Structure 1
Amino acid sequence: MRTQVAIIGGGPSGLLLGQLLHRRGIDAVVLERKTRDYVLSRIRAGVLETGLVRLMEEAGVADRLHREGLIHEGTQIAVAGEMFHIDFKRLTGSAVTVYGQTEVTHDLYDAREAAGARTEFEVDHVAILDADSDRPFVTYQQNGREHRLDCDFVAGCDGFHGISRQSIPLTARREYEKTYPFGWLGVLSRTPPVHHELIYANSERGFALCSMRNENLSRYYVQCALSDHPEDWTDAAFWQELRRRIPADMAEHLITGPSIEKSIAPLRSFVTEPMRWGRLFLCGDAAHIVPPTGAKGLNTAASDVHYLYNGLRQFYEEGDSEGIDRYSERALLRVWKAERFSWWFSGLLHRYPDQSRFDLKMQQADIAFLRDNEAQQRAFAENYVGLPY
C-alpha cells in the first residue's frame, strides 16, 4: 500500500491533519493502535483557542462546534475567598470556545468516514523505517498479518508513549522535562456548572478548577498528592474538599452529584527537539507535554498541525520545501511560549511542598499584580486565547 502521508495516531491531531490534507487533495492514511470507540471514550480538556477553531473551520468540521460550543469571553481567578475577572474580549478582541476534545475527535472521525479516507484501527508493532531517506515506509501488524505502507512523509501524532519520537535516534534528539510534585484529581458529573466561566482557584489547601463540558456536564479538579489514587476519594470527600477551595458564595451554589468519571493526572512539562528528523515529523504529545493549567495541550498540538499542514501543502502544490524545512523551528518557537505560560500559570495557582514563606508572598504578589495591572491581564489573555501562528 502507498500513500503520500502516513499519519501515526488517530487522535485529534492526526485526524485534523488528515482532514486538512484531504481537502487539498493530498492522500493520507491514519494508523491507530486502538478502536474508534476506545479513542472516543478518552476524557480530555475542552477549551479551544481561536486558532484551533479556525483550523476546524478550514477542515470543514466546525458546524456542530459552532452550534453547541460555549463561547467564553473571560475567566475567573479566585484567591483568598475572592474572585476577579479577566475579560478576554475587551483585552484581545477574541474569546475561547468550550467544546470537549471527545466531540472534536468525533466530528473529525465522522468527516473522515464521509470522505472515504482510509483509517486502519487496531494496528500494533508499528515501525517507522528509513525516515532519514527520501523513501520512508511504515510496517505494522493487523489481525495477525504484516503490512507495509510506503509514503513520502510520516507524521507522528501518536502521543508521549508512541513509537514516533522513539524512532528518532537519541544522538539526534534532546529532551527537556520538568515533573511537578502533585497531581490533579478530576471528577466529571452530570450537573450544571457552578459558574458560566471557568474558575481557577488558589487556596491555602491547594489549587482547584471549576470547568464544564456543556450546560449540564461539569468537570472539577482539585490538587492532590501524587501518591493518591482515585479510589481513595469518595464523591462526598471530593465535593467537600472542592467547597473548601473555592469562594464561599460559589461553594454555596455548587450542585453536586454522582461522579461518572474520576481520575488523577500527574503534571509534566516536556519538550523534545528537534520535531523533525528526515521525513518524520512529530506533532502534539509525541513532541511535547504541558501541564493542564491553561488548557494548552490540544491547542499546542493544533498549532503543530497548522505548521505541518501548510508545509506539506506548500510542498505538494508549489514544489517548495521551505515550509517543511522550517517546520521544527516554527513549531518549537510557539511550543516554548505555551510551555512558559503553562509553567507560569501552574506556579501562580498551586501549593508546592517546599514553598517557603517568602515563596508564598511572591505568589501572592504575582496574583495581585495580575488582578490590578491591565497590561499583565492583557498578556495573560493573549496567551490564554492563543498566540498567533
Structure 2
Amino acid sequence: MRTQVTIIGGGPSGLLLGQLLHGAGIDTVVLERQSKAHVLSRIRAGILETGTVALMHKAGVGQRLEKECFRHDGTVICHGEMQFGVNFSERAGKHVVVYGQTELTRDLYEARELASAKTLFNIENVTIQGADTDTPSVSYEQEGLTHTIKCDFIAGCDGFHGVSRTTIPAQLRREYEKLYPFGWLGVLSETPPVHDELIYAGSDRGFALCSMRNANLSRYYIQCSLTDQPEDWSDTAFWEELKRRIPNEYADRLVTGASIEKSIAPLRSFVSEPMRWGRLFLCGDAAHIVPPTGAKGLNSAMGDVHYLFNGFQQFYQEGDTRGIDEYSAKALARVWKAERFSWATTKLLHRFPDDSDFDRKMQQADVAFLAENSAAQTVFAQNYVGLPY
C-alpha cells in the first residue's frame, strides 16, 4: 500500500489531521489499535478552546458542534467558602465551549467515512521503518496478516503508550516528567449540572471540579489517593465528599443520582523532545501530557495538529520544507506554556500531602490574589481560552 501521510492513531488528533489533509488533497491512511466502537466508548474531556473549534470548522466538521455545544464565558473558582468568577470574554475576548470529546471523535469518523478516506481498525504490532530516511514505511498486523504502507511522512498520534515516541532513538530523546501524588476520581451522572459554568474548588479536603456534558449529563471530579480504586467509592460516598469540598451554596442544590461511569485518572506532566525525527512527527499525547486541571490535554494536541497540517500543506502545495522543519520548535514552545498553566493551576487548587502550614497559607494567598487582581485574571483567562498558534 502507498499513501502520502500515514497517521498512527485514530483518536481526535489523528482524525482531525487526516480530515484537514484530505481537504487539502493530501492522501492519508489512519491506523487504529482499537475498534471504532471502543474508541467511541471512551469518556474524555469536553472543554474546547476557540482555536480547536476553529480547526474543526476548517476541517468541515463543526456544524453539529456549533449547534449542540455549551458556550462558557467564564468559570467559578472557590477556596473554602470564598468564590469568585473569571470572565473569559471580558478578560481575553474569547470563550470556550463544552462539547464531549466522544462526540467530536464521532463527527470526525463520520466525515472520514463520508470522504471514503482509509481507516484501519484492530491494528496490532505496528513498527516504523526508515523514519530517518527519505523512504519511511509502517508495518502492521491485522487479522493475522502483515501489511506494509510506504509513505512520505508518518504522524505519530498514538498516545503515550504508542510506538511512535519510542521509535526515536533513546539517545536523541530528552524526557521531562512530574508525577503528582494524587489522582482524580471522576463520576458521570444523568443529572442536571449544579451551575451553568464550571466550578473549580480547592479545600482543606482536596480539589473538586463540577463540570457538564449537556443539560442532563454532569461530570464531577474529586481529588483522591493514588491507592484508591473506583469500587472503593460508593455513589453515596462520592456525593457526600463532593458536597464537603464545594461552597454550601452549590452543595445545597446539587442533584445527585446513580453514576453511569466512574474512573480514577492519575495526574502527570510529561514532555518528550524533540517532536520530530526525520520523517516521523509526534503529535498530542505521544509527545506530551498535562494534568487535566487546566483543560489543556486535547487542546494542546490540536495545537500540534495546526502546526503539522500547515507544514505538510506547505510542503505538498509549495515544495517548501520550512513548516515541517520548524514543527517541533513551534509545537514545543506552545506545549511548555500549556504545561506551565496546567502545573500552576494544579498547584493552586490541590491539597499536596507534604504541604506545610506555610505552603497552605501561600496557596490561600495565591487564590486571594487571583480573586482581587484584574491583571492576574486576564493572564488566567488568556491561558484558559488558549494561547494563539
Distance (Å, rounded) in 1 between the aligned partners of 2:15 and 2:172: 27
Superposition pairs of residues 132-147 of structure 1, within 5 angstroms = 132-147=132-147
Q: What's the counterpart of residue 32 of structure 1? A: 32
Q: What's the counterpart of residue 286 of structure 2? A: 286
* Coordinate RMSD, CA, aligned: 0.4
Distance (Å, rounded) in 2 between the aligned partners of 1:21 and 1:124: 25
Q: Name structure 1 gaps, 5 residues minimum.
A: none
Distance (Å, rounded) in 2 between the aligned partners of 1:353 and 1:259: 28
Q: What's the counterpart of residue 84 of structure 1? A: 84
Distance (Å, rounded) in 2 between the aligned partners of 1:294 and 1:332: 17
Residue 253 of structure 1 aligns to a residue whose secondary structure is coil
Residue 329 of structure 1 aligns to a residue whose secondary structure is helix
Residue 205 of structure 2 aligns to a residue whose secondary structure is coil
Aligned residue-pair number? 389
Distance (Å, rounded) in 1 between the aligned partners of 2:361 and 2:28: 53
Q: What amino acid is aligned across from residue 203 of structure 1 in structure 2?
A: S
Tell me, yes or no, if structure 1 residue 21 matches structure 2 residue 10: no
Q: What amino acid is aligned across from residue 153 of structure 1 in structure 2?
A: F
Distance (Å, rounded) in 2 between the aligned partners of 1:205 and 1:252: 18
- Structure 1 residues 168-210: Cα deviation after superposition (integer angstroms, max 9, x where no partner): 0101111000000000000000000000000000011000000
Mean Cα displacement is larger for which, 279-288 or 82-91? 82-91
Tell me, yes or no, if structure 1 residue 174 matches structure 2 residue 174: yes
Tell me, yes or no, if structure 1 residue 59 matches structure 2 residue 62: no
Q: What's the counterpart of residue 277 of structure 1? A: 277
- Report the CA distance between 1:268 and its aligned residue: 0.2
Superposition pairs of residues 1-389 of structure 1, within 5 angstroms = 1-389=1-389
- Structure 1 residues 35-70: Cα deviation after superposition (integer angstroms, max 9, x where no partner): 000000000000000000000000000000000000
Distance (Å, rounded) in 2 between the aligned partners of 1:67 and 1:58: 16
Identity %: 69
- Structure 1 residues 110-136: Cα deviation after superposition (integer angstroms, max 9, x where no partner): 000000000000010100110000000
- Report the CA distance between 1:304 and its aligned residue: 0.2
Distance (Å, rounded) in 1 between the aligned partners of 2:92 and 2:177: 31
- Structure 1 residues 221-275: Cα deviation after superposition (integer angstroms, max 9, x where no partner): 0000000000000000000000000000100000000000000000000000000
Q: What amino acid is aligned across from residue 85 of structure 2 in structure 1?
A: H
Distance (Å, rounded) in 1 between the aligned partners of 2:382 and 2:328: 23
- Report the CA distance between 1:83 and its aligned residue: 1.5
Residue 299 of structure 1 aligns to a residue whose secondary structure is helix
Distance (Å, rounded) in 1 between the aligned partners of 2:92 and 2:382: 6
Q: What amino acid is aligned across from residue 313 of structure 1 in structure 2?
A: Q
- Report the CA distance between 1:92 and its aligned residue: 1.1
- Report the CA distance between 1:81 and its aligned residue: 1.3
- Report the CA distance between 1:80 and its aligned residue: 1.7
Residue 294 of structure 2 aligns to a residue whose secondary structure is coil
Distance (Å, rounded) in 1 between the aligned partners of 2:384 and 2:34: 32
- Report the CA distance between 1:28 and its aligned residue: 0.4
Q: What amino acid is aligned across from residue 206 of structure 2 in structure 1?
A: G
Residue 140 of structure 1 aligns to a residue whose secondary structure is strand
Distance (Å, rounded) in 1 between the aligned partners of 2:309 and 2:96: 23
Q: What amino acid is aligned across from residue 254 of structure 1 in structure 2?
A: L
Distance (Å, rounded) in 2 between the aligned partners of 1:141 and 1:79: 52
TM-score for the superposition, normalised by structure 2: 1.00
> Which runs of at least 4 in structure 1 moved beyond 2 Å after TM superposition?
none
- Structure 1 residues 80-121: Cα deviation after superposition (integer angstroms, max 9, x where no partner): 213200000011110001000001100000000000000000
- Report the CA distance between 1:339 and its aligned residue: 0.1
Distance (Å, rounded) in 1 between the aligned partners of 2:155 and 2:111: 19
Q: Name structure 2 gaps, 5 residues minimum.
A: none
TM-score for the superposition, normalised by structure 1: 1.00
Residue 293 of structure 2 aligns to a residue whose secondary structure is coil
Distance (Å, rounded) in 1 between the aligned partners of 2:194 and 2:148: 51
Distance (Å, rounded) in 2 between the aligned partners of 1:261 and 1:250: 22
- Report the CA distance between 1:79 and its aligned residue: 1.0
Residue 209 of structure 1 aligns to a residue whose secondary structure is strand
Residue 293 of structure 1 aligns to a residue whose secondary structure is helix
Q: What amino acid is aligned across from residue 181 of structure 2 in structure 1?
A: P
Distance (Å, rounded) in 2 between the aligned partners of 1:96 and 1:30: 29
Distance (Å, rounded) in 2 between the aligned partners of 1:54 and 1:192: 28
Residue 134 of structure 1 aligns to a residue whose secondary structure is coil
Q: What amino acid is aligned across from residue 282 of structure 1 in structure 2?
A: L
Distance (Å, rounded) in 2 between the aligned partners of 1:171 and 1:132: 14
Distance (Å, rounded) in 2 between the aligned partners of 1:128 and 1:194: 48
